[in-house]
């Protein structure tokens, strides 16, 4: 466990809260300590109220913040006296506790304080750190876990049985801490959950965490070393994943994305001889249950998993104090000998988070097996976490998901102009988007966002089309919406001067490549949870061609006919195909200010008049076309296929 503390960097963080932010980020930088919003930190200080009075204050991580990127504003200031008074109550429900914590906040606009705020207030040290360190969780999730922890740390660490974070855990800590703490005590382990460290400075609390977890890691290296998985070539037929996604989405009742990891470690775990047993013993820590569900699916029998989940809910919900709303019974983790680790989520970020969590869980399980057998919390306790009052309250407050949440759009010609605008329109509606372009700039179009995959490809090559389809499946599990936008508009040339090579090039890009990707995408669109949609970006030149554009006009007309035939053929698969015919969209790469000025002068117009040279006197932008394209994939067009819609401000020749 590497100590990342740097005195020079730390000296730049002057006040107490800044030091708290600095050391928190050091913890968040290590995925073996915390992952994706896990863990918690706090510092005790003083605030001055509106009357000029000093108040003892706990600054604790706010709900929803991530230690890796935490800012001062993400620490919620709560009154220490209120925390201590709450700790002296005999009982306090989680819902009431959450309300009281919010009332105790000095800033009503701050995030909700952590549910562990009372616990942090009770620990008699200025700085408190809490992580779900893999090494600690591994040791506690074994038959002799508590004995191993006590042997390793002695009286330097207080050991508590697992209790759900919140009021009950705080009460237990209030009872146990004074009885077990010694002058040597620097930490506390919560079984099946994680570890706390504390100190009088940010550096002391942080370094104690590193020291304690480092000792646990050394113990594991001596007693349960992991052998790196040998290189394994994935043997998956990726074409089977979209159908698996359809089944998972059907079980959930809404579309889900699937993210596949066929790396050697994931494949080796999925092919472990005892995988059917060891994978069914529960998550590494109850905190993971909310994202990953209690158990993964081993294999592809989604319906059997859903039935088992319903029974699990019925069995455990009988003892609930209030009626519970059953979560969807679809798996979030799938272990498959061919695909490796497959993760399901409503968004690409969800699938990425679940993948990270389970890759760590795999190692914890394997090490636990070497220490006498991996053991997690029992079913009833895990159910309490999954159906926690506070999580149920979140569900009730959550708004409707975005229109295309859990769905995938593929946009060709995505690096600029209409294609780039389409990418943004679909992202805005919650879709995961694959953007394809021959321009390498497409790869970095959205700066590493989980919900965007940029692929540089020449779509006239059959191998490139196959690669696009496979990458789409592996990243997102399938395809729901296909936007055919890529094309070229060669310089004006009359038929008498039109060479064969230029003709063939235009046809290859504007027509043949679209045929190829439609053909390869058809099985994915057929398996789409809400059925597939295709929108073809045509041109005004289809109904109203112009001189000097024979190759372009003919290619777009042929593409239109191809789309119309596909609408007839694919209707039986509930795939709808529609076209938009833009005209005079000037915010694209080919329309430089110089070209615009030349064309406007040719017609004796100003540039603004030239842009609005249509019946409605409206400028048509790439965003206008993109928004119409996205709407054509939505509910409004659910019963329309084979339609051709002009978006040109009204063109006299088209009308």
Give the pLDDT band (50/70/90) at residue 546: confident
For residue 543, tell me if it sits in a domain: yes
Q: Does one domain contain both 558 and 431? A: yes
The pLDDT tens digits of the residues spanning 366-393 come to: 999 999 999 999 999 999 999 988 888 8
> Is 229 contained in some domain?
no
Distance CA(293)–CA(259), nearest Å, equals 16
Identify whether residues 202 and 172 lie together within a single domain: yes
Instruction: Give me the pLDDT at residue 401, please.
Output: 92
Residue 22 domain-assigned? yes
| pLDDT value at residue 314 | 95
Task: Calculate Rg over the CA atoms of the chain.
Answer: 29
pLDDT at 36: 86
- Rounded Cα–Cα distance for residues 425 and 445 (Å): 14
Task: Answer yes or no: do 193 and 262 share one domain.
Answer: no
Reading the block at residue 607, the tokens are 């540039």
Cα separation, 630 vs 622, whole angstroms? 12
pLDDT at 330: 97
Strand partners, 344: 258
The pLDDT mean for the chain works out to: 94
Angle at 309 between CA 307 and CA 313, to 5 degrees: 120
The per-residue pLDDT for range 598-653, each reduced to its tens digit, is 888 988 999 999 999 999 999 999 999 999 999 999 999 999 999 999 999 999 99
Which residues lie closer than 8 Å to 56 by C-beta, 6 or more apart?
44, 46, 79, 80, 81
Same-domain pairing of 480 and 503? yes
Distance in angstroms between the alpha carbons of the first and the last residue of the chain: 71
**pLDDT, mean of residues 24-44:** 94
Residue 336 lies in a domain: yes
Tokens of 645: 């819609």
Q: Is residue 164 helix, strand or coil? A: coil
Q: How many domains does the chain have?
A: 3
| pLDDT > 80? residue 518 | yes
Give the global pTM: 0.93
Q: What is the pLDDT of residue 598?
A: 86
pLDDT 10s digits, 264-307: 999 999 999 999 999 999 999 988 888 888 899 999 999 999 99
What pLDDT score was predicted for residue 105?
Answer: 95
620's CB contacts (< 8 A; 6+ apart) are: 582, 583, 584, 585, 614, 647, 648, 649
**Top-ranked range on mean pLDDT: pick from 375-384, 488-497, 506-515, 540-549:** 506-515
pLDDT band at 399 (very low <50, low <70, confident <90, very high): confident
Do 199 and 205 meet the contact criterion of CB atoms below 8 Å apart? yes
| 180 and 297 share one domain | no
Structure confidence at residue 31 (pLDDT): 95
Same domain? For 339 and 478 the reply is no
Average pLDDT score over residue span 216-227? 95
- pLDDT computed for residue 627 by the predictor: 98
CATH number at residue 348: 3.40.225
In a domain, 413, yes or no: yes
Q: Determine contact, residues 408/257, Cβ cutoff 8 Å.
A: yes
Instruction: State the average pLDDT over residues 409-431.
Output: 97
* Beta pairing partners, 481: 409, 533
Q: What percent of the chain has pLDDT over 70?
A: 100
Q: What is the DSSP track for 255-282?
A: --EEEEE-SHHHHHHHT-TTHHHHTTS-
**Tens-digit pLDDT profile for residues 306-333:** 999 999 999 999 888 778 889 999 999 9
Residue 538 shares a structural domain with residue 443: yes
Residue 160 domain boundaries: 7-223
CA distances for 161 relative to 149, 164, 213, 253, angstroms: 12, 10, 19, 37
* Statement to judge: residues 193 and 339 lie in one domain: no
* Pair (348, 456) in one structural domain: no
Band of pLDDT at residue 446, cut at 50, 70 and 90: very high
The pLDDT value recorded for residue 50 is 85
Read out DSSP for 287-354? GGHHHH-SS-EESS-HHHHHHHHHHHHHHHHTT-SS--PPPP---SEEEETTTEEEEEESSHHHHHHH
pLDDT, position 491: 74
Q: What is the mean pLDDT of residues 93-105?
A: 93
Instruction: Answer yes or no: do 174 and 288 share one domain.
Output: no
Looking at 223, 250, 273, the residue that finishes a domain is 223
Residue 254 has pLDDT above 80, yes or no: yes
Q: What mean pLDDT is predicted for residues 88-101? A: 93
Q: Is residue 435 part of a domain?
A: yes
Query: Is the Cβ–Cβ distance between 476 and 348 less than 8 Å?
Result: yes
Do the domain assignments include residue 213? yes
pLDDT of 595 reads 77
Of the residues 354, 378, 397, the one at which a domain ends? 397
Last residue of a domain, one of 397, 427, 460: 397
Residues 468 and 355 in one domain: no
Question: Taking every pair of C-alpha atoms in the chain, what is the biggest distance, in angstroms?
Answer: 97
For residue 240, give the nearest of 258, 266, 267, 263 by alpha carbon: 258
Neighbours of 645 (CB within 10 A): 17
Q: Which residues pair with 288 in a beta bridge?
A: none
Q: Report d(CA 485, CA 413) in Å as an integer.
A: 6
259 φ, ψ (degrees, to nearest 5)? -115, 125
In a domain, 604, yes or no: no
Within this chain, do residues 52 and 184 fall inside the same structural domain, yes or no?
yes
Which whole number is the average pLDDT over 501-525? 96
Question: Residue 487's closest CA among 587, 588, 631, 586?
Answer: 588
- Does pLDDT of 346 surpass 90? yes
Domain harbouring 526, CATH code = 3.40.50.720
CATH of the domain at 45: 3.40.225.10
């Amino acid at each position: 466990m590497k100590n990342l503390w740097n005195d020079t960097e730390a000296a730049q963080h002057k006040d107490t809260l800044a030091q708290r932010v600095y050391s928190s980020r050091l913890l968040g930088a290590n995925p073996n300590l915390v992952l994706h919003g896990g863990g918690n930190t706090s510092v005790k200080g003083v605030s001055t109220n509106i009357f000029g009075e000093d108040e003892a204050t706990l600054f604790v991580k706010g709900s929803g913040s991530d230690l890796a990127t935490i800012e001062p504003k993400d620490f919620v200031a709560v009154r220490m006296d209120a925390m201590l008074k709450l700790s002296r109550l005999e009982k306090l429900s989680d819902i009431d506790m959450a309300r009281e914590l919010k009332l105790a906040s000095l800033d009503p606009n701050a995030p909700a304080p952590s549910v562990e705020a009372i616990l942090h207030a009770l620990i008699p040290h200025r700085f408190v750190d809490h992580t779900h360190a893999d090494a600690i969780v591994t040791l506690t999730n074994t038959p002799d876990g508590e004995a191993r922890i006590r042997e390793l740390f002695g009286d330097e660490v207080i050991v508590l049985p697992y209790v759900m974070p919140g009021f009950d855990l705080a009460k237990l800590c209030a009872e146990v801490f004074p009885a077990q703490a010694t002058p040597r005590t620097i930490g506390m382990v919560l079984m099946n959950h994680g570890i706390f460290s504390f100190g009088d400075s940010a550096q002391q609390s942080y370094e104690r965490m590193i020291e304690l977890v480092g000792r646990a890691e050394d113990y594991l290296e001596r007693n349960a070393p992991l052998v790196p998985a040998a290189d394994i070539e994935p043997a998956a037929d990726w074409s089977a994943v979209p159908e698996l996604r359809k089944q998972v989405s059907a079980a959930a009742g809404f579309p889900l994305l699937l993210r596949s990891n066929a790396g050697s470690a994931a494949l080796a775990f999925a092919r472990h001889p005892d995988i059917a047993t060891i994978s069914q013993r529960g998550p590494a820590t109850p905190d993971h249950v909310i994202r990953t569900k209690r158990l993964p699916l081993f294999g592809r029998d989604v319906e059997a998993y859903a039935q088992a989940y319903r029974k699990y809910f019925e069995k455990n919900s009988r003892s609930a104090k209030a009626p519970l709303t059953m979560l969807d019974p679809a798996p979030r983790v799938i272990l498959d000998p061919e695909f490796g680790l497959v993760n399901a989520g409503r968004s690409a970020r969800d699938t990425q988070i679940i993948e990270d969590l389970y890759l760590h869980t795999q190692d914890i399980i394997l090490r636990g097996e070497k220490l006498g057998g991996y053991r997690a919390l029992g079913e009833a306790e895990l159910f309490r976490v999954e159906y926690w009052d506070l999580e149920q309250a979140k569900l009730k407050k959550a708004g409707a998901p975005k229109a295309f949440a859990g769905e995938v759009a593929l946009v060709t010609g995505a690096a600029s102009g209409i294609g780039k605008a389409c990418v943004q329109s679909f992202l805005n509606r919650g879709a995961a988007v694959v953007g394809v372009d021959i321009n390498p700039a497409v790869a970095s179009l959205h700066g590493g966002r989980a919900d965007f995959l940029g692929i540089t490809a020449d779509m006239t090559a059959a191998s490139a089309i196959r690669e696009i389809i496979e990458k789409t499946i592996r990243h997102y599990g399938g395809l729901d919406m296909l936007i055919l936008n890529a094309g070229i508009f060669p310089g004006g040339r009359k038929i008498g001067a039109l060479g064969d090579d230029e003709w063939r090039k235009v046809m290859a890009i504007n027509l043949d490549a679209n045929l190829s990707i439609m053909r390869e995408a058809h099985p994915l669109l057929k398996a789409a949870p809400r059925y597939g949609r295709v929108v073809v970006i045509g041109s005004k030149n289809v109904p109203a061609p112009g001189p000097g554009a024979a190759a372009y006009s003919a290619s777009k007309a042929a593409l239109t006919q191809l789309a119309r035939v596909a609408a007839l053929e694919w209707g039986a698969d509930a795939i709808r195909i529609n076209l938009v015919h833009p005209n005079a969209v000037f915010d694209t790469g080919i329309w430089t200010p110089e070209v615009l000025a030349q064309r406007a002068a040719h017609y004796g117009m100003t540039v603004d008049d030239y842009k609005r040279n249509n019946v409605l006197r409206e400028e048509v932008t790439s965003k206008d076309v993109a928004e119409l394209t996205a709407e054509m994939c939505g509910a409004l067009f659910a019963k329309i296929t084979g339609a051709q819609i002009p978006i040109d401000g009204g063109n006299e020749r088209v009308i």
